[in-house]
Amino acid sequence: MKFVCDGLSLSEAVMKVSKACAVRSTAPVMECIKISADNDEVVFLASDGELSIQKTVKAEVFESGEICVPGKLFSDFVSKLTGEEISINTSDKGMEIRYRDSGTSMQTIRAEEFPKIDLEIGENYFEMKQNDLKKIISETTFCCAQDDARPVLKGCLMEFGDKLEMTALDGYRLALSEAKILSKSGEKSLICPARTLGEISRMLTGEEEEITLYNKGGLLMVKSDGMIVVSRLYQGDFIKKENVLPSRFTTNVTFDKNELIASVERAAILIRGDKNNLITLEIENDGVNVSSASEIGNVAERVSAETDGVELNISMNAKYLLDALRALEEEKITISFNGAVSPFILQNAEKKESLYLILPVRNAA
């Protein structure tokens, strides 16, 4: 294998692909990037078994061939060569990277050891705008579970119907958001790892441009600008959101979002060390009291609000409340309650395209 290309496009491609390299694998080849040169194109491919990323760049190919090199090392190294013209060729000593009067050699692994990755995924497709997809990803994935207790909860449920409905939950809270679909092959429900969605979001640089998601069996694929992301999907049962979302509420309160965030942030400082991270909202007809208390002190703040319905006193994890408030877009937001022990939901006051549900904590006091 031998090719010449410019350092900047090489570095950009390798950096993107290296996100899919396994970090500490028992099989060293999973930490590698596979490089394939042929027909004036060089293809970089990495995969950790769950997520695979491939990127193709133009190059002057003198001798076609394939090889695997350590991904992180290669990525860090070429990131220091963005201004050079780079010549890469394989020899007995491994792979040589030459630039100006200088050169580097790196150990390699034979391309045959790299796992076969199926990139021909086209049974179902769903087309949407890039910024719609990015928005729905950023509005939901932060509510996915972080631990492996129930692996399926580390993903988002994507329901492709008339529109795309995306649900994330971790057992204490739920996020639900929807986005327009431009065209599709049919209806489908998939559970996609949050990590994959993050990488897809990062690869999308357009706004109004379209992007198509392809699905076949347990795989999802997205293609954009010479780059392909393929991910395994999670299999299993996701909670039915219809069973969780209340249809009516006894109290609706509309807040100025930033005023409420500032108040909850202050209340959260005093309870930082506490396990439950508990703050209390006391909903009154003419306003809301935000309070927290711990060994070291207590906060009691008055926040203006428009209340409709019965008064109540409800406690919750301050982090969940802040995460949801920060994810909502509008200046005015509405929180709807059903008493002190039932889940409550947060939405923009006007455009209710996304929704957050949080379980309250029974207040011991």
Q: Is 8 in the site for its own copies (CB under 8 A)?
A: no
CB of 339 to its own copies, least distance (A): 26
Sorted by sequence, the CB contacts under 8 Å of residue 144 that are 6+ apart come out as 153, 154, 155, 156, 168, 169, 170, 194
Q: Is 302 in the site for its own copies (CB under 8 A)?
A: yes
Stretch that binds its own copies, among 95-103, 207-215, 222-230, 248-256 (CB under 8 A): 95-103
Stretch that binds its own copies, among 242-250, 289-297, 333-341, 357-365 (CB under 8 A): 289-297
CB of 28 to its own copies, least distance (A): 10
Residues 162-201 that bind its own copies (CB under 8 A): none
CB of 31 to its own copies, least distance (A): 11
Binding residue for its own copies (CB under 8 A) from 57, 117, 262, 349? 262
Query: Using CA atoms, how far apart are residues 238 and 173, in angstroms rounded to an integer?
Result: 14
Q: Is 269 in the site for its own copies (CB under 8 A)?
A: yes
Alpha carbons within 13 A on the beta-carbon side of 222: 26
Binding residue for its own copies (CB under 8 A) from 80, 150, 180, 332? 80
Stretch that binds its own copies, among 101-109, 150-158, 181-189, 344-352 (CB under 8 A): 101-109
Q: What share of the chain is helix, strand, coil (3-state, %, to 5)?
A: 20, 45, 30
Query: Using CA atoms, how far apart are residues 272 and 214, in angstroms rounded to an integer?
Result: 44
Binding residue for its own copies (CB under 8 A) from 25, 49, 60, 105? 105
Query: What is the helix (H) or strand (E) element at residue 134, kind and residue range?
Result: helix 130-140
Nearest to 253 by CA among 358, 363, 346: 346
Three-class SS of residue 357? Answer: strand
Q: Is 77 in the site for its own copies (CB under 8 A)?
A: yes
Site string for its own copies, 37-66 (x = CB under 8 A): ------------------------------
Q: Residue 11 corresponds to which amino acid?
A: S
Give the CA distances from residue 93 to residues 34, 71, 89, 311, in Å, rounded to whole numbers and listed in that order: 17, 18, 10, 76
CB of 185 to its own copies, least distance (A): 46
Q: Is 103 in the site for its own copies (CB under 8 A)?
A: yes
Q: Is 297 in the site for its own copies (CB under 8 A)?
A: yes
Sorted by sequence, the CB contacts under 8 Å of residue 6 that are 6+ apart come out as 84, 85, 86
**Burial of 36: CB neighbours in 10 Å, binned 0-12, 13-18, 19+:** buried
Instruction: CB nearer to its own copies: give 88 or 174.
Output: 88
Cα–chain center distance at 109: 31
Binding residue for its own copies (CB under 8 A) from 112, 286, 295, 365? 295
Instruction: CB nearer to its own copies: give 54 or 263.
Output: 263
Cβ density class 195-204: b for 16+ within 10 Å, e for less: bbbebbbebb
Binding residue for its own copies (CB under 8 A) from 265, 308, 329, 331? 265
Sorted by sequence, the CB contacts under 8 Å of residue 219 that are 6+ apart come out as 118, 121, 230, 231, 232, 233
Number of residues this chain uses to bind its own copies (CB under 8 A)? 29
CB of 258 to its own copies, least distance (A): 11
Instruction: CB nearer to its own copies: give 222 or 260.
Output: 260
CB of 263 to its own copies, least distance (A): 7
Give the CA distances from residue 255 to residues 219, 269, 288, 344, in Å, rounded to whole numbers and listed in that order: 42, 21, 9, 15
Q: What angle do CA 65, 66, 67 make, to 5 degrees?
A: 135
Binding site for its own copies (CB under 8 A): 70, 73, 76-77, 80-81, 94, 100-107, 262-263, 265-266, 269-270, 295-302
